[in-house]
Amino acid sequence: MKAPYDLHHDAWGRLVLIDAEGEQFAGIELVRVYPITDPDHWIAICDPQGHELSCIEDPQTLPPRVRQVLDEHLAEREFLPVIRRIVRVSADVDPCEWHVETDRGRTRFLVNSEEDVRRLGANRTVAVDSHGIRYLIPDTHALDATSRRILDRYL
């Protein structure tokens, strides 16, 4: 695949890549390949399953509007509050509002569907809110019983 032609958000807030041939890929993820040693270069573009579609060697070469979307998406992706406790979830229907305590304080956010709560391994979980912000639960076993019971409905 050639370098991206366009990046934008669709009506559901998903990031969409339109490549040089005009093919659209919805729900893509942008990931810094070398986030510590070379954060200003090498951004991988991955499909929703995590397979790399393309790689941007130097984001500075992108058109300003595309670069802005890329920068905003990476800033959201790299903001990762840690959930310490799930206080309550508004309902058993989607979307639902989660009330949580994080390492940054209490907050609430909307989760659009069960698919937005995913395991990242045996005990790690991530919840993605309606704006694409990820909330990490590094160890589900460390949660209190109420939080685990609520979370079990989604996993």
Final residue belonging to a domain, choices 25, 45, 78: 78
Please give the share of the chain, as a percent, with pLDDT higher than 70.
97
Strand order in the sheet with 96-102: 83-89, 96-102, 105-111
Predicted pLDDT at 57: 94
Is the domain of 72 the same as that of 128? no
Predicted pLDDT at 1: 44
- Domain that includes residue 19, residue range: 6-78
Residue 4 has pLDDT above 70, yes or no: no
pTM exceeding 0.75? no
Q: Which residues contact 95 (CB under 8 A, 6 or more apart)?
A: 110, 111, 112, 113, 130
Is the domain of 57 the same as that of 100? no
Residue 24 has pLDDT above 60, yes or no: yes
Residue 45 lies in a domain: yes
How many domains are there within the chain?
Answer: 2
Is residue 116 helix, strand or coil? Answer: helix
Confidence class for position 152, pLDDT limits 50, 70, 90: very high
Residue indicated by tokens 């040089």:
20
Residue 1 lies in a domain: no
Residue 115 lies in a domain: yes
Distance between CA atoms of residues 153 and 148, nearest Å:
9
Q: What is the largest CA-CA distance in the chain?
A: 51
Is the domain of 68 the same as that of 109? no
Confidence class for position 23, pLDDT limits 50, 70, 90: very high
Predicted pLDDT at 139: 95
Is the domain of 71 the same as that of 135? no
Query: 67-107, pLDDT tens digit by residue?
Result: 999 998 888 777 789 999 999 999 778 899 999 999 999 99
Q: Report residue 89 as tokens.
A: 């979830």
